[in-house]
Structure 1
């Protein structure tokens, strides 16, 4: 039986490739005769460059850029067929912060990566959004590309999201490269589902900080509107702490990260060959149902009349909700291991052990 193994990354524990290999290793223990098709996935967040390099080939470049808290970090980006694939989390990711401070963190390094791609002669940059530790509305990226953000005295404002409340004027740069924003979410910039209120707490913002960030982004939206770029209600503007808004203001096309990766990794061709699909991520929760990779794999499987299983670190989605997006059954690594702590002690081993048990239930080689 051909089994498609197509997971996303598992939070900060396993990359998508590591997760796919762990699932495959466990499955083979129980069902060695099955043919496994590995297609690790990413929706624009962490793992975007690694996954696309594995699927497309191309040349991986490294650059020293400004990290989210101002310290230098090494970021990798992919060049393939005239296009740069940039993973914003490599420059401003939450995992790069030894202290979570969304009020002062910056996307400046993302702009430096775009500039590096431009200087290398590429004509297009696809920027994957997700996993950021920032809430600066993309203002840092705009400055790195030659733009200016000033207060009412004409002086530059500070680097963080809270400083945006002092913004009065933005001078947008001529980027010189076609931009595409590949987002894992469609959240707007402001409001209940916006960058500050939805994602700020995950980045360390307490309720007071969330309101300061919301105020800063509200001012930023007005400044961008005055500059001729009204992105306040644009889908995806709230992605990566409002980095989506900054990209849209620079003329970026917005696209679904999961749909893009689905195409570039030839996921549908693999689904055509499979008789069972397995996907997964760190937490299978309500956000997983909002256009993320699990729904792309499940929908593709449902279209072909094959079952789709989810192996996740933790599962909080009910069976009915999962079934509505095409997921036949979901399994939690933490539950199988006995606790979250046990699963985290050996993420790859715990995931492999779960996969071995699931293979016993689902592989035709084992009587299903």
Structure 2
């Protein structure tokens, strides 16, 4: 009888473990009771935090770059490289997670560091740059991305504006003469499931500004700034991209990119699964275990576990889900493709314990999975 083959393809458990850590803990638990099982680790992400970790786990080369963080503080960001393709994660250099002290600064946080990292990849010869857009700390319309690539954003006196969205209320001109010479010759793929426009009640400021710390007055200021920025982009490039689906993603980062660069928007998890050759990893597997920290109705709208479940079932594997917590009922979980679901909150005395003791609880889940009858392949 051949050994059971299991693929461990979780997303991160935010606040507890990154995706590789989740996979490792599950693998340890399985090995305790079923050392003969063949275990393949394939951590995933949905285009936000953890995207670079996922591709690095699949064997891509890490590249480290010194850059400025969302409010200019120095940091070291890592992107991934394989052949002519580079994978860059916005969250690693311009995200909420790297704000100094976790203090949110919605008016002056920007994406200049992202431009620095992209410029490094261009200098290294990348022909395609994939950018994961989740986790942004800023609402600067992608102005920082362009300045990091050598463009200038100027006021009426011809002076460079400071970073951040608020300053764009004074924007008069975009000077692209210093733009990186290769920026317009490569393809940019934005891994993003958000289809919000730049402006209006569903736009970058109104929907996502409060998540970045903006109060109602600041949201209105940022909306005005984004309107001004959209006008300047249109005047400077001839492209009116404010209403393009996804233009409001990551504080409008994709808006500036769509106006100036050769850009494509793709589903986050689909992009990650393609970059990690998940179809090869899952081939012949009996069981795939996926999950994330909070499995809820938002997860059903294209998040990593559901994307993994679809790909795994297409390959004929049974799919289990593991989550810190779920608000979905059994029928919803089954409809999403999960044959079984395990939660850490069902094993811990409270939610806080489920987070702090996640590694031990995940090992326990791994042992439970290994102790069950070996799963047959899905029909």
In the TM superposition, what is the alpha-carbon distance from 1:6 to its structure 2 partner?
Answer: 0.4
Deviations 1:244-266 (A, max 9, x none): 22222232222223222212222
Q: 1:180 aligns with which of 188, 198, 203?
A: 188
Is the alpha carbon distance of 1:334 and 1:69 closer, same or farther for their aligned partners in structure 2, counting shifts above 3 Å?
Answer: farther
Q: Which residue of 1 aligns with 2:85?
A: 83
Which residues in structure 2 correspond to 1:341-356 (within 5 Å)? 341-356=352-367
User: Match of 2:283, SS?
Assistant: helix
Is the alpha carbon distance of 1:204 and 1:358 closer, same or farther for their aligned partners in structure 2, counting shifts above 3 Å?
Answer: farther
User: Match of 1:19, SS?
Assistant: helix
Is the alpha carbon distance of 1:163 and 1:332 closer, same or farther for their aligned partners in structure 2, counting shifts above 3 Å?
Answer: farther
Gaps of 5+ in 2: none
* Separation in structure 1 between the aligned mates of residue 82 and residue 250 of structure 2, nearest angstrom: 24
Instruction: Number of aligned residue pairs: give it.
Output: 364
Deviations 1:316-357 (A, max 9, x none): 234444444323343322332222210222232222223333
Q: Which residue of 2 aligns with 1:104?
A: 108
Q: Single out whichever of 101-110 and 12-21 deviates more from structure 2.
A: 12-21
Q: 2:23 aligns with which of 20, 28, 42?
A: 20
In the TM superposition, what is the alpha-carbon distance from 1:22 to its structure 2 partner?
Answer: 1.2
Q: 1:43 aligns with which of 46, 63, 75?
A: 46
* Separation in structure 2 between the aligned mates of residue 203 and residue 27 of structure 1, nearest angstrom: 39
Q: Which residue of 2 aligns with 1:240?
A: 250
CA contact (8 A) 1:39 1:267 kept: yes
Is the alpha carbon distance of 1:325 and 1:224 closer, same or farther for their aligned partners in structure 2, counting shifts above 3 Å?
Answer: farther
* Separation in structure 2 between the aligned mates of residue 349 and residue 128 of structure 1, nearest angstrom: 30
In the TM superposition, what is the alpha-carbon distance from 1:175 to its structure 2 partner?
Answer: 5.0
In the TM superposition, what is the alpha-carbon distance from 1:96 to its structure 2 partner?
Answer: 0.9
Which residues in structure 2 correspond to 1:322-333 (within 5 Å)? 322-333=333-344
Is the alpha carbon distance of 1:306 and 1:193 closer, same or farther for their aligned partners in structure 2, counting shifts above 3 Å?
Answer: farther
In the TM superposition, what is the alpha-carbon distance from 1:85 to its structure 2 partner?
Answer: 1.8
User: Match of 2:14, SS?
Assistant: coil
Q: Does 1:164 align with 2:173?
A: no
* Separation in structure 2 between the aligned mates of residue 162 and residue 331 of structure 1, nearest angstrom: 45
CA contact (8 A) 1:179 1:247 kept: no
Q: 2:121 aligns with which of 94, 114, 117?
A: 117
CA contact (8 A) 1:62 1:75 kept: yes
Q: 2:226 aligns with which of 203, 214, 217?
A: 217
Q: Does 1:190 align with 2:199?
A: yes
Q: Which residue of 1 aligns with 2:138?
A: 134
Deviations 1:221-246 (A, max 9, x none): 23222332322232332222222222
Q: Single out whichever of 182-191 and 68-77 deviates more from structure 2.
A: 182-191
TM-score by length of 1: 0.90
Gaps of 5+ in 1: none
Q: Single out whichever of 111-120 and 312-321 deviates more from structure 2.
A: 312-321
User: Match of 2:97, SS?
Assistant: helix
Q: Single out whichever of 345-354 and 135-144 deviates more from structure 2.
A: 345-354
CA contact (8 A) 1:315 1:331 kept: no
In the TM superposition, what is the alpha-carbon distance from 1:192 to its structure 2 partner?
Answer: 4.0
CA contact (8 A) 1:181 1:248 kept: no
Q: 2:72 aligns with which of 61, 70, 74?
A: 70
Which residues in structure 2 correspond to 1:211-290 (within 5 Å)? 211-227=220-236, 228-251=238-261, 252-290=263-301
In the TM superposition, what is the alpha-carbon distance from 1:203 to its structure 2 partner?
Answer: 2.3
User: Match of 1:282, SS?
Assistant: strand
Is the alpha carbon distance of 1:332 and 1:238 closer, same or farther for their aligned partners in structure 2, counting shifts above 3 Å?
Answer: farther
Q: Which residue of 2 aligns with 1:202?
A: 211
* Separation in structure 1 between the aligned mates of residue 223 and residue 341 of structure 2, nearest angstrom: 36
In the TM superposition, what is the alpha-carbon distance from 1:72 to its structure 2 partner?
Answer: 0.6
Q: Does 1:55 align with 2:58?
A: yes
RMSD: 2.4
Is the alpha carbon distance of 1:341 and 1:85 closer, same or farther for their aligned partners in structure 2, counting shifts above 3 Å?
Answer: same
Which residues in structure 2 correspond to 1:303-322 (within 5 Å)? 303-322=314-333
